[in-house]
Chains A and B, each alone.
Chain A
Amino acid sequence: MRNLINFLIKYGTWFIFMFYVLISCVLLFSHNLYQQSVYLTSANIVASSVNSTSSQVTGYFHLRGINESLQESNAMLENEVLNLRHQLAECQTLLSDTLKSNIFLNRFDYIPATVINNSVRHPRNYFSINRGSADGVKVGMGVVDQNGVVGMVNVAGLHTARVISLLNQTQRFSVKLKGTNYIGSLSWKGADPSIAYMEEVPRHAKFHAGDTVVTSGYSTTFPGDIPVGIVMNRIKGSDDNFFILKVRLNSDFRALSTVRVIKDEYKAELDSLQQYDIKSDK
């Protein structure tokens, strides 16, 4: 017994060391535990309040660039409104519409939010926003900025949420080439925060450099046709039946500021349908 106590006293500090190493390894490898806990992420109260304070100061730094891209998107939207108004006027001369409102227009709702903490240099990047479950943000919702897709909500605190950035090697997004039905999955390979890769594109798909890559709309996370990036060139993949497209991302992830969280009114319904499928398969 005395020997045991002596042993513990002699090597006590190394037990402390092993204890800390063990905790670190648990944090490092058990992603599930980590993802379920708001307290360990930057969405917790201390981290989010520090980050909000600092973003109140640094939020002004990128305003010029954001202003420019907002004006661009504003001009584009104005054009589209004019265009649609014109089309509507043309249609109304043809026949009178008896349907009062289009239900599809109300399917998606947007929750505006501000990015309070952001990173682009890790292999698995996340950013935090200042809206949480109290504002209607839920895990799995898509996040876009004025230029296109930026991520998906991963942990929702009460007033803050952590978002898996598109720049995260573990996350894939379902995308397609605009105007076609060629679906692929978009993933980021690290290094350059403005380049991602659209994989699993069927070999017969036709494309040109400069084509727009948009969301496929096959999930409840994003509506279809939200821009993601622009095709740069084709890369030879390991599989001969599919090829990989190099995509330049629209959003500037180094200067994320104002984003919108997408709320799908049909999500619960669609998810319950999928559950039904799984159950009936069994």
Chain B
Amino acid sequence: MLGKAIPRKEDQRFITGAGLYVEDVQLPGMLYAAFVRSAYAHAYIRRIDVERARNVPGVVAVITGKEWPELSATLPELNGSVTLTSPYIDSVKVVPHHLFPEKACYVGEQIAVVIAESAYAAADGVEAVEVEYEPLPAVASWEEAIKPEAPRIHKGVDNTVAHLKHEVGDVERAFRDAEIVLEKRLETQSLKSMAIECRAVAAQWEEATGTLNVWSTCQFHYMLRSAIAGILKMPAEAVRVMARDIGGGFGLKGVLHAEDVIIPLIAYRLKRPLRWAETRMEHMTASNHSGRQVHDVRIAARRDGTILGMDLKMYKEVGAYDHFDMMLQINTINHLTTHYKVPNIRVEGWAIATNTSPGSPYRGAGRVEAVFTMDRVLDAVARATGLDPIDVRLKNIVTPADMPYRNGMIYRDGVPVTYDAIDFPLLLERAKQRAEYDLWRRRQQEYRAAGRSIGIGISSYVEAGGLGPCEGATVSIDEAGRVTVKVGVNSQGQSHETTLAQICAHALGAPIDDIQVLGGDTSLMNIGFGTGASRVAVNAGNAVYKAAVAVRRKVVALASGILGCTEDEVEIADGIVSVAGARQNQTTLGELARRALRDRRMADLGGPGLVATEFFYPKTVTWASGVNIAVVEVDRETGHVDILKYVFVHDCGLPLNPMVVDGQIRGGFTQGLGIALGERVVYDEEGQVRSGSLMDYYVPRAVDVPDLELDHVTFPTPDNPLGIKSVGESGPNSPPAAIAAAIEDALGGAVEINTLPVTMSAILQALRSS
């Protein structure tokens, strides 16, 4: 069952419209919320006139933050699966983030909330609220924000809110020894998650049980529970957060937004169910984005293509409130060298606040920036030396003989980055074969003679996933033999209900059809974290495995007593429990579960019933990796890029379900394609959003996505019982670098491509100026 491409168990529910998303939560007496949002990127809120709004038919209340003491609360400083130890960071300044601010620091920041009998009336109410602003000068880019005369986003706080540095080896010496020194400025853009389901939250105070029920799209629902319980001074278990069916997350929902907390607080006070669902407009303007990142990089190399050292300065826009200290830059650093040896590295980074919505991770979370930098560097070295890009890569690649290999970086769990049991040259060779690299190099010349511009780009990535601290699982068998797996994590579309069931079926010997997986509800598991950082398969997957093994041990112990055999002789397959060899002597998991309720033997096996809870603590992250090769054709008159061939070779350890892995890679690739060719959040100088709708914000559509040639290579990890690694954030990392390199190559080296996305306009402009 493990490793089989079985269809997804959750598909029936989703395809027939039976999923329960937050907007499907409909309760008697429900009220609806809509937010009044700042029109300015930086302005004091001098007065909020709510009188007219209160008189709008259907409006029940207009809340401005002064009504109850708990509304003066602030959001937790750090979010989700953040830096556990920060070996590189030497300063970080966290600014209180109020639910209802006195000063708006970005366009779309919440100022007041209208509660009404319908969503329509709530929107009418918002329009009737009059806000008096005192506008202040705003800064919308890091270049402006670091100027000495720049307005301060937060009074008394420098706009540079965090700083880090790290050095491996002796960079000065590497540059002294260098035969070639190259310098580049590389730029990547800010991105929106653009999930099909925007953010949403619903809440209901249940007087009878003293429970505040919350339905949320949050990826880290336990974090939300803690925040709500903390503000309301309730026991954590009196707040039940349900986040089961979620239409996409991609990092943006891994953050606590003010609305996530405000709605439950108001529902609790009004004692009426309350729901808010973000509109696409709000998503585009007010929700978090990933933040522009600019790298100034110097490379020291020898004429034979050997890289001696790298000196990197990183500037990151983190928006008005930085809830992730320097996590994204740390991810960039820890993924920077990908498959290659860079013996001497010095990095320095700045997190710079701007008058834009707060920054948060976007699928890839700093890895796209790392890969784009390393591959642009390798290609620059190839150009400077006249070597083929593949040869430069082979010159610097980490080989199996180098394993275990440490590149001198420290992961954010405090453990040194260590590659082991990975064959990077094999991945490169496989990609080269699948791409028919030599053939395309020949064709490139032929096509060029015919006036066609063909280019080839190569990119390699690593993906650390499975970040701890841990996740848990409870596996139980009922009297009919049906198995329930409860996990703390939730799903935004990752297929947990299938893959975790496969793990359980494999470990327990139960039929997959009899296994249901429940998650995304804090009442199922008292302790859990959530879904993000490509952590569920490793953490929750191995927890399910351990719990299923523990239940199996109980089954075996009880069955050996009942069937009169030794434990070694007990066999479990397809829900049937039997004695090896003696086919007539058998029982079922259900029958054993029934007997386990009353059988005294269970007293020594942990108590009644066939149930066990286990937690899995990873030692550190696992390292997935891959190589991508893109062949593109550029229309020199229009700047249009056509992808002729795309090869994606990757390792994610043992695939739990290859179909699910394919889906993860294809989805991630598509996001990478967007990053390569057009996705970009654009603010003007005043901090107004220019990319405010899908008319202007590019997202690839199905017709834009080329056929991918996927190749799974499996290097199992010894670090967990299942030998699995992560895959969720593998997809987007390399496509931007591979496609950018291919475009640069297609243009014959006339222009260097150092900025993402490579838009049609960028190509036209580059060709005009070359």
Chain B associates with chain A:
no
The residues of B with any CB-CB pair to A shorter than 8 Å are: none
